Structure 1
Amino acid sequence: MAAKIEWTAMDYAAKDALAKIIDDSALAYRVIAERMGGVVSHVRVGYIHNGEKSPVRLSEFLAICDVCNADPVQTLRDIIAEARRIEAERAADEMADRIVANPDDFDVAASIDPHKRDEANTPRE
């Protein structure tokens, strides 16, 4: 049995970008596959569009960009930017989950200082 492939943020971003490219082309999966000369089957084009099975390979990415008249360089830049955004969002979510799970580990000194009221009322120089 084949090992399950773990998708990365880059894979999800590529899936979304290619789905948009395919949708914008208004071409059927079968037409896209035929225009690629059988390099990728229409079934695989559908899997790529829907994010099923394995992530898109570079050769598939380039072939789909070519057939759908998308600039592969700009598309790749967009994918990288989106993957970075996804990773940053995940990191923020993970930190929020850690704080919620262990709030005592993240106390702010001012909130537990027994003299905080006195210090708040102390005039500044």
Structure 2
Amino acid sequence: MSQLSNMQNRPMAVKARTWTKVDYDVSAILTQCKEESGLSYRDIEARTGINYVRVRDICLAQHGTPTLAEYLAICDGFRLDPVNTLRSILADTPLLDDEQASDDAPLTADEIMTLAANTDPNRDTEAETPRD
């Protein structure tokens, strides 16, 4: 929770980010967790540290895409393993070419994060965002 509150003081990206299938999948996971738990947006705010309006926006897949910090807060708040959850998301989202996909070795967490970072259509915008 404290990591997310530290990020709230940072400037937001100037250019809007485009929602990808991975972003929509994170939205679907949060929506499913909300429905299964019966929690309100405010209850989820208390559990994750994400403002209830932002929780609603992620559930409705509107405004900015979910950030990595929000994804981790969602996983933590609902006791989901972030690596296994991301693996299940990526299992439905082919990001590798055929030669790489034929490798039977499972991806490590570092490989998944590198792969996600290198295929993120918003990476240039996020790289240009000033850091405090």
- TM-score, normalised by the number of residues in structure 1: 0.56
Identify the residue that residue 19 of structure 2 maps to in structure 1. 7
Per-residue CA deviations over 1:65-121 (Å, capped at 9, x if unaligned) read 111222222211111122239xxxxxxxxxxxxxxxxxxxxxxxxxxxxxxxxxxxx
- What aligned pairs does 1:88-99 form with structure 2 within 5 A after superposition? none
Aligned counterpart for 2:34 among listed residues 22, 25, 29: 22
Choose the corresponding residue for 2:80, options 62, 70, 85: 70
Higher relative contact order (CA 8 A, sep 6+): 2
Letter in 2 for 1:20: Q
Match of 1:33 in 2: 45
**What count of residue pairs does the alignment treat as equivalent?**
82
Q: Take 1:40 and 1:13, find their aligned partners in 2: how far apart are those partners?
A: 18
Q: Distance in 2 between matches of 1:21 and 1:50?
A: 14
The correspondence for 1:82, drawn from 92, 109, 130, is 92
More helix by share: 1
* Deviation, structure 1 residue 62: 1.2
Structure 1 spans left out of the alignment, 5+ residues: 86-125
Q: Which has the larger radius of gyration?
A: 1
Q: TM-score, normalised by structure 2?
A: 0.54
Aligned equivalent of 1:54 = 64
Any idea what SS the aligned residue of 1:83 has? Answer: coil
Q: How does 1:114-125 map to 2 (within 5 A)?
A: none
For 2:93 and 2:37, the matched residues in 1 are separated by 23
Partner of 1:115: none
